[in-house]
Chains A and B, each alone.
Chain A
Amino acid sequence: MAEQQSILHLNNKSKIKVALIGNPNSGKSTLFNALTGLNQKTGNFPGVTVDKKSGTIKFENGSTAEIIDLPGTYSLYPKSMDEQVAFEVLCNPDNKNYPDITIVVADASNLKRNLFLVSQIIDLKIPAILVLNMMDMVEKEGDRIDTTRLSEKLGVKVIGISARNKNGINALKDAILEPIPVPQYDFIDIKKIAPELVEKVKSVIKVNSDFAAFQIINNLNEMSYFDKNKDRKTKIEDALNTFIIDKNQLQQKESVERYKVINRLVEECITHTSAIKTETFTHRLDSILTHRIWGYAVFLTVLFFIFQSIFFLAAYPMDWIETLFVSISKTTANTLPPGELNNLIVNGIIAGLSGVVIFVPQIALLFAFIAILEDTGYMARVSFIMDKLLRKFGLNGRSIIPLISGVACAVPAIMSARTISNWKERIITIMVTPLMSCSARLPVYTLLISLVIPPNEKLGFFNYQGMILMALYLIGFIAAILAALVMKWILKAKEKSYFIMELPVYRTPQWRNVGLTIYEKVQVFLWDAGKIIVAISVILWFLSSHAPGNKFAEIEKKYTDYSWRADLNDAEIEAKIGAEKLEVSYAGILGKSIEPAIAPLGFDWKIGISLITSFAAREVFVGTMATIYSVGDSDNTQSIQDKMRKEINPKTGLPQFTIAVGFSLLLFYAFAMQCMSTLAIVYRETKNIKWPIIQFLYMSALAYLASLLVYQLLK
Chain B
Amino acid sequence: MLTFARMGNKLKQLSELKLGEKAVIDSFTDDAMALKLLEMGCTPGEMVELDKIAPMGDPIAISISGYLLSLRKEEASTVLVSPLN
Contact = CB atoms under 8 A, between A and B. Distances in A.
Contacts of A248: 31-32, 34-35
B7 interface: no
B75 A500 contact: yes
13 contacts: A112-B41, A112-B66, A113-B67, A252-B2, A252-B31, A252-B35, A256-B44, A259-B43, A282-B68, A286-B52, A387-B54, A387-B59, A503-B52
A384 B60 CA distance: 8
Nearest to A25: B67
A388 B59 contact: yes
A705 B55 CA distance: 39
A295 B52 CA distance: 13
Contacts of B2: 252, 256
A173 B64 CA distance: 34
Interface in B58-82: 58-59, 61, 65-72, 75
A77 B31 CA distance: 14
Contacts of A389: 56
Given A110-B66, A248-B31, A77 B58 contact: no
B69 A256 contact: no
A284 interface: no
Nearest to A109: B66
B66 A277 contact: yes
A109 B57 CA distance: 29
B65 A112 contact: yes
Contacts of A230: none
A255 B70 contact: no
Contacts of B41: 112-113, 116, 259
Contact of A292 (B31, B55, B68): B55
A302 to B, nearest CB: 16
Given A255-B43, A500-B75, A384 B34 contact: no
Interface in A231-268: 248-249, 251-252, 255-256, 259
A570 interface: no
A256 B59 contact: no
Contacts of A498: 36, 71, 75
Nearest to A496: B32
Contact of A251 (B35, B57, B61, B71): B35
B70 A501 contact: yes
B11 interface: no
Contact of A385 (B40, B46, B54, B65): B54
B71 A499 contact: yes
A256 to B, nearest CB: 6
Given A110-B67, A500-B71, A384 B54 contact: yes
B71 to A, nearest CB: 5
Given A75-B39, A498-B71, 11 more contacts: A112-B41, A112-B65, A249-B31, A252-B38, A277-B66, A385-B54, A388-B54, A498-B75, A499-B59, A501-B69, A501-B70
Interface residues of B, number: 31
> Secondary structure at chain A's binding surface: helix, strand, loop or mixed?
helix
A384 B59 contact: yes
Residue among A79, A109, A384 with the highest chain B CB neighbour number at 10 A: A384
Contacts of A503: 52, 61, 67-70
A671 to B, nearest CB: 30
Contact of B55 (A79, A110, A116, A295): A295
A296 B55 CA distance: 9
Interface in A278-304: 282, 286, 290-292, 295-296
A502 B75 contact: no
A74 interface: yes
A385 B60 CA distance: 10
A516 interface: no
A116 B35 CA distance: 13
A49 to B, nearest CB: 22
Interface string B3-21: 0000000000000000000
A77 B55 contact: no
Contacts of B72: 387, 391, 499
B69 A255 contact: no
Given A256-B38, A496-B32, A502 B69 contact: yes
Contact of A384 (B65, B70, B75): B70
Interface of A: 74-75, 77, 79, 109-110, 112-113, 116, 248-249, 251-252, 255-256, 259, 277, 282, 286, 290-292, 295-296, 380, 383-385, 387-389, 391, 496, 498-505
Nearest to B72: A499
Nearest to B69: A502
B83 to A, nearest CB: 21
B66 A74 contact: no
Nearest to B74: A499
A290 B35 contact: no
B68 A502 contact: yes
B51 to A, nearest CB: 8
A498 B61 CA distance: 14
Closest 8 CB pairs of A and B: A292-B55, A255-B38, A503-B68, A388-B56, A75-B39, A113-B41, A499-B72, A248-B31
B75 to A, nearest CB: 6
A501 B56 CA distance: 18
B76 to A, nearest CB: 9
B38 A113 contact: no
Contacts of A502: 40, 67-70
Contacts of B31: 248-249, 252
Contacts of B66: 109-110, 112, 277
Contacts of A296: 55
Contact of A290 (B32, B44, B54, B65): B54
Nearest to B57: A388
Residue among B32, B34, B38, B46 with the highest chain A CB neighbour number at 10 A: B38
A383 B58 CA distance: 11
A255 B70 CA distance: 20
Contacts of B35: 77, 248, 251-252, 255
A504 B61 CA distance: 11
Contacts of B39: 74-75, 77, 116, 255
A388 B58 contact: yes
Contacts of A109: 66
Nearest to A294: B55
A256 B68 contact: no
Residue among A248, A277, A291 with the highest chain B CB neighbour number at 10 A: A248
A476 to B, nearest CB: 25
Contacts of A116: 39, 41
A332 B9 CA distance: 83
B16 to A, nearest CB: 18
